[in-house]
Structure 1
Amino acid sequence: MKLYLAAILAICSLEHFTIIRGTFGSQTMPLNSCVDLHTSEINIKRIADYERQTIPVKAVIFITKNGVKVCVPYDLAWVKKNIHKLERSKARKQKRTTSRPKSMTS
């Protein structure tokens, strides 16, 4: 009888544990999220694009031309300068593609 009672208690405690674990496990983080931040400056010539992140930490994710993603603090001066340069570069590229005259084919 004691063994039977112990088995029932063990099953109940495992069931309770999976409910708690399921609650924590259901809170997923984004696939591309920063936890650790790189603080040394990255050469702008290596950066192709960037993404902003607010959760779990406020950061900027620089994407290099090789596709490597590097997380950096959003409030550093060199980060803001690089973002500004990337935005200007994107604006110039967009302006070039929209201002091209359409070729006239007869």
Structure 2
Amino acid sequence: MRLHTAAILLLFGLGIFAAHTVKGSASSQSMRKFSCVTLSTKQLNIRNLVSYEKQQVPTNAIMFVTAGGIKICVSPDQRWVKTAIKRIDERRVAKRK
């Protein structure tokens, strides 16, 4: 009987430890809802872009969000991408004033 009680307590303790560990690791990392895996090669219309996010994992990319909420990933090395980022930043500053 004593061995049976010890086994139950051990399993209970391991269950609590596992639940706490999983909860802690999941809440300590921010999980992205969308991540760039492939990059578009098309140049986008800058006027339709409302925001962007820089991403380095799993690939170095800029994720643009259009006025319609569509997320499009592109290479950050292109000249038009740098221009688009600059324009979006300028719009943000103008809105704050």
Q: TM-score range by the shorter chain?
A: 0.5 to 0.7
SS across alignment from 1:70: strand
Unpaired runs of at least 5, structure 2: none
TM-score (norm 2): 0.61
Report which structure shows greater RCO (CA 8 Å, sep ≥6).
2
TM-score (norm 1): 0.57
TM-superposition CA deviations, 1:54-85 (whole Å, max 9, x none) = 5655431211232211233423x2xx413315
Q: Which residue number corresponds to residue 82 of structure 1?
A: 81
Contact 2:36 2:63 in 1 (8 A): no
Q: Larger C-alpha radius of gyration, 1 or 2?
A: 1
Q: Which residue number corresponds to residue 20 of structure 2?
A: 19
Root-mean-square deviation (Å): 3.4
Unpaired runs of at least 5, structure 1: 96-106
Identity %: 17
